[in-house]
Structure 1
Amino acid sequence: MKRLPACQSLHRAALSLLIACATLGCLLTGPKTLSAQDNPNRPHILILNSYHPGYLWSDGEQAGILETLHAQLPEAQFHIEYLDTKNFPKPEHYSHVFGTLAYKYKDAQFSVILAADNAALEFLAQFGKPLFGNTPMVFCGVSNFSPDLLGDLDAITGIVERHDVRSTIAAMLRLHPAAQEIYVVVDTTLTGKEQRKITEAALPDLKKKIKTTFTENLSIEEVLQQTRNLPPSTLVLILSFARDKNGRIFDLPELARLVSNNSPAPVYVIQEERMGAGVVGGYLLGGKAHGAQAAQLALRILAGESAASIPIVTEPPVQPMFDFLQLKRFGLKTSALPQGSIVINQPVSLYENYRVEIWCLVGFVFLQLCAIGGLLTNIQKKRQAEKTLGQHRLMLRQVLDMTPQSIFWKDREGVYLGCNAVFAKAIGLDDPEQIKGKTDFDLPWPTEEAEAYRADDQEVITSNRTKRSIIEPLQQANGSRIWIDTTKVPLQDKQGRVYGVLGVYEDVTEKKKREEQLYLAQFTIDSAKDSIFLIDEKAGFHLVNTGACRRLGYSKEELLALRVFDIDPAFPPGKWPEHWQELMEKGSATLETVHRTKEGKDFPVEVSATRVIYNDKIYDCAFARDISDRNCAEGERQRLEIQLRQSQKMEAIGTLAGGIAHDFNNILSIILGYTELAMMEGNDPEKQRQELDQVLKGAERAKELVQQILAFSRKTEHQKQPLQISLIAKEALKMLRASVPTTIEIKHNINSEGTVLADPTQIHQVIMNLCTNAYHAMRETGGILTISLDEVELGMEEYRYAEVKPGRYLRLEVHDTGCGIPQEIRNKIFEPYFTTKKQGEGTGMGLAVVHGIITSHHGHLTVHSEVGKGTSVHVYLPMAEQKAVPLAEKKVAENLLGHGERILVVDDEEQICDYLGLALQNHGYQVSVFPTGVEAWREFAKQPSRFDLVVTDMTMPYMTGAEFSQKVLSLRPDIPVILCTGHSALIDRQKARAMGICDYLNKPVTQHELLEAIQNNLPKK
């Protein structure tokens, strides 16, 4: 067991002094020590500290690095940069640090770079390559390490920060066998979460099972309140707690001291820096030892090893360490400590052990001091003064020489007293000392320039005031002329008398050229008619032209404070990252969108976006052109096209009238003829049944023809609602399987339950039309008809279609293996009346209707076809966020017979009443039939519970079916109502359901349809 004296405060003071000295040295030398005049064999080492001076863990790492490297490389030049991420944790802080380091070290070449803790490694992973190229790097203090943290860095190695929580807990339980609970203090930072996970994983491996309580995102006040109330049988373990829930930051010993001062229970830790703050101890990882081990890796790199070849150290050494004062406080014996433990603050009486030797030494020292004390005092003071003065002069010379600006100073007569190396080089001198005694007229610039410089000097000396930003030309020793920005200040003695002038200037030639170029470029941009924007990755405006301000009504300052989604409602914040990523991949894009002025007025624009790099950053350079006039012309063209299509439709109705009459006459001939034959076949029931079957088929043909005519001629607006297309597709599949021959196999691949805003009837029509076309393409040879439904994301590439906007879409695909569509007619298939079928097989309106429906739903159609192999039609419909309105589920009636249920039937057609009454009675129902809604209501109102279901016609005298249904439902909301109608101009299925009507049947209604509707809607008994 090792013993350490009570010297923690001295250790920390020495550590802070070492850090301060190293930091001061780095600040005084700076990046210019890497100039050509420096010793080329002198290693330059950059240390990136994640935090701030005074944060004990990183201070310890830095001290370990400096001590180890300085011991082996005393000539090494150190450069230290503090990232200060504890005080500036936001990600954009890295960008500011990047700019600073890029400026400071633009000409620097480091031998090795050491990164202390996660923030420094994250910074190097993001900016290391642009800043330092392939300079070898070493990291330390990195918790939660994974190779992903290295990014694209390859010349790198390091040591992972990993604490031995398992051994610490085992030591706690060995020292406190009666403990019942461990109270763990840990925060919710990334490091805290990882250490909690490690602790939870270590608990099952312990021999003794013990209750463990973790702090859950608490403030320091809440933590201290809980620790004050801990019972004596509890142990406290402090993990990472750098920040509480209120954002307050704690140093390692500060937090340990707060907890130990408020806890009646022993406190254990895993960081060496917390020792001496009232904690007992634990298996500790110290920042200084950690940094020293990283420095050893750096020495191997400086000795010639490749950083990539050195394995990353994932198990850093830890040391069991305990505080004697706390052991004594809790009655713990040092003999129970783990083997090899270090004990601090253990009192050792030096006098008791070395009494004789101490007295001898004291006597000898006293005699020596008496003899030489006075002499040494005088000599030391003189040497110290000379050394301090020399150091100050050397430091001042180094500061002047590494400053990038030219610096000089003269007396009142204009005679140079000195200058720095930069100024000497500019005027052709090898040594700054050679400037002494010269005047401006002795230097290599024209007399008129020397006179102007002298006049400025006299003005500063006479006025005793600083003269700033003197922009003037200067001729260098090599004959080239540059522009300089000079500042001159008066030099004063102790009495305040001016004895000379100090001047500083820097070369602004390139800056002046850039300003001229920038002015010309800005003039060109502002003169453009189009709006021009330079947009960053966060959708903020970095640059705008006058045209954009004028068109949108903002001042330039107002517009630069906005973002894209403030002026473009088509690009909400969630859409911008997708657009940015696509632009980064493709380099450019063109799209149509809408811009909104300051007054809230929207106008259409065409935007051409290009990826550009400006100041080492990537931007979106967008040119926006107002296309209001162009869109007006396009709208007029579309209006004329609609008028033309409407006139063509009217012409088609007139043209088809004769054909419709012909079809009806044929159907009526069949019905009349077979009815007469059936009446004559009174003695042959089988033959009579066959003839009546033909009558039924003719009636079905008439029903289908009427429905087609109504669908074609209907002018009412369809009602759109949130809808699951998958349900419509499955319903259509049932109809297809019943009507398509067995030579055609039907497959489906429905992979989405997504919702669109659509009219269910129209979507059903689209699916049936597309499937009918596919069936016709395969009816001679057979084949496979496949219906697929899935969700896709349409981006900027698909945005080239004016009617398609980027976003989530449902894609419906109808694919057949039929004959395919020849290339020469593919662009005509959506034209009205275009058909490839034989005369009488089609009107050519099917795909035209599909195209119109999909366009009205803001969707898009594409066709892919290959002759002899088949055709695929893709329908894209924009997805809706609303939930789908559930379609009424139809029960499959296995048996259409009733069981005495009481049905109320209302219809103003006497024959229909008779037919319905007989049909329902024959199938086991009790039926009450009424010719008007008024009579039916009068009977229903007497005894509402008498009936189980209502079947009503829509169009009736005195009271319509809808009015009757509302009255019935107002009295009995639970009763099922079935509405039958021969024409849906007044009411459709959606309106009926909104009224509470459970089912809706189109006349003529077959007996099977009615019975099935009744079975599906009667309450289950």
Structure 2
Amino acid sequence: MPVSHVIQAGRSEPPDPAADTDPPQGRGGDHDRQPSRPGRSPRRSPRRLRWLLPSLLLSAGALLCAITFADPYALPATPPVQALLINSYDQRMHWVRDLTDAVEADLAPPGGNVLLRVENMDTKAVHGDAYFAAFAAMLRAKYATTRPALLLCSDDHALNFLRRYRDALFPGVPVVFGGVNNFSPARVEGMPGVTGVTEEHYPYETAQFLLRAHPGVEELFIINDYTESGRSTAAELAEALRPLEGRVRLRWNADIPLSDLLRQVAALGPETAVLLGVYHSDATARTATYEEAGLRITSAARVPVYCIMGFNLSGNMVGGKLVNSQTQGRIMADLGRRILAGEDPAALPVRRGPGEFLFDYTQLHRWRIDEASLPPDSEVVERPFSLYRAYTREILVIAGFVAAMLATVVALIIVMRHKARTEAELRKLRNLLANILDSMPSVVVGVSPEGRIIQWNRQAVRMSGVEPDAAMGRALDEVFPRLAPQLPRVREALDSQLPVRGERLVRTDNGVPRYEDVTVFPLAANGMEGAVIRLDDVTERERVREMMIQTERMLSVGGLAAGMAHEINNPLGGILQAVQNVLRRIEPGRTANEEAAQAMGCTVEQVRDYLERRGVLRMAAGVREAGLRAARIVSNMLNFSRRSTSSHVECDIGALVANAVELAASDYSFRENHDFRKLRVELLVPPDLPKPACLPTEVEQVLLNLLRNAAQALAGFTPAGGAPPTITVRAECIPDGVAVTVTDNGPGMPPEVRARVFDPFYTTRPPGDGTGLGLSVAFFIITQNHKGTFTVASEPGQGTTFTFTLPLGPAS
């Protein structure tokens, strides 16, 4: 790899075998090099010889790896380029040490191709023409065979030296300077190939901040030594601070011993602040480093102390806009790199040295200066150790990683919660769908195109006896053989994408025929293919259809009967009128009757006697009674067949009971099968019974249905103890209305029949003999139309009692 070297007095340099054995000078003075003592090599033991071969093999392997993985570009391709840095002062000064380190780091870093050599003039200790000449002679002898490609110099003495001796020592070698005060182009006039960076001071900017940070300051005490460089700096400060005159008093230190100066500084009051320029030597010519002098001044001061040089920022120094030697060194290195790269020094203008606002952390807090009030781009040094500041990048990376992980966790939590909500909604929808399917009275079976079961509702469980877990995935013909013939319709429905209706199925349940309709619905959405087979029990619907047909027939018969009643009523009225006229024609006391009898040679009494003897009067009375009975029957039929009105009227319960009994006795079909002459009908209706508001025809219909059911129950049944078959109709007053009871001493009902006696279409009679709607219609009429109650009490062998109530209320 290309290597860079820094060779200087005080920096280790490979010893020249031809040179003398004195150790080289160090930065801070002479350092003795301890020569290593030659010693005899120890005798090798046989045990060590045993490890010689493995060691050689390992060394060869390591060498092979190093050659294999070495960077080929790291090997030096050209000899190193030499650069010579000449410092005006020695390495004991922080200014020189920091500047040299900056030049070395940027111009001749490890692995570079630049060899940096350093020479220190130490002009703070000695300077003059004779010294310059001696120093030049030393360089001539030292670099007689080695010509540097670049010259660098720091501070004024080094630049002045090169102005005088550059062409003699290193003719034509470009020069880069730094740290030069009060620079003007005249200083390098006639010296081609020179560029660099000036040293600029910023006392005005420092003083401006000082006055803002310490509003109570009225006086600025400026400290500077009276050396040649000190007087030059003092003149520069005076010129820069001139705009502050009138705003604050400017007081300069006298050329006195340092001890007296420190006493003056210690006596300064709170209205004064100190601005330190450059201080190196006092009136007694006692010298100290700039750093040492600054430390002693800040230690003695009880007021804020600011400075203009970066090397003074230590101890109790607050800071300011400072000249920093490291910045000077970096700029010098940048210019040197560009020149070594081939750029013309004349094309590189001299740069104005920048200043940086630097402040001590402890002093900012001591004088209660908020960091937010510092100028932009300020830097605070000597902060207490902070893990965050020491590892900011690493902490930010870790924090970013943790934040990313937290964001990922939060995102995962959100996704998981969303997934949980979605799954909950999905479960809810599944449960809802399952509940909907399970609540349906129909059998619902989902099948795949292959005939495998994919859905099985509760009605399917009831019909087949197979639980869903056992049915899922199995073939339909195994689980529900009755639906196996519907499998061809599954493919038909999938092909047509239309529902397919199957043939009606008939099955027998406890000897009762049940009718079922089959419909196949296609499923071909969202990637799912299959079909739903729905099996509907339509037995009740079929009965309703038959009942509606029967009702239509009954309506037709009722209309025909009403018409016949009207037709019968006319001749019946003529018969009754004729009978009435016959009986009136033979009544004595009527003039017309007497005259007609006399004309025939007899009396009315003789005619009545004759007719009575022959039974004619009795027969006429019978005809009249039969006619009146027939008229009542026709009237009852007309009243029953008329459409019920919605108006409730006060009704005589006794009359309604009598009419219902007479209608039941006159029903031909009823008398044909259940002759009332074989039944005893007892009517227990008190004459003073209240009259509830009701619909007479509907109440008569209820009573007629109860009488028919009682007569049917007594048909062919012999009551216990030889008692005659009896129907008892009882009416009585209750607190809220009237209760009517119809009781028979028939066979009674078992509990399962009694529980369903009011259900529509439920009947125990043979098929075709009744619709099973009589009691359900009666229950509806009483409970819904009249807001009453309807109950039944029955035990096997104990007869049956039906009781309904009619509440009292105003007629509407």
TM-score by length of 1: 0.31
- Structure ranking higher on relative contact order (CA contacts 8 Å, 6+ apart): 2
TM-score by length of 2: 0.39
Larger-Rg structure? 2
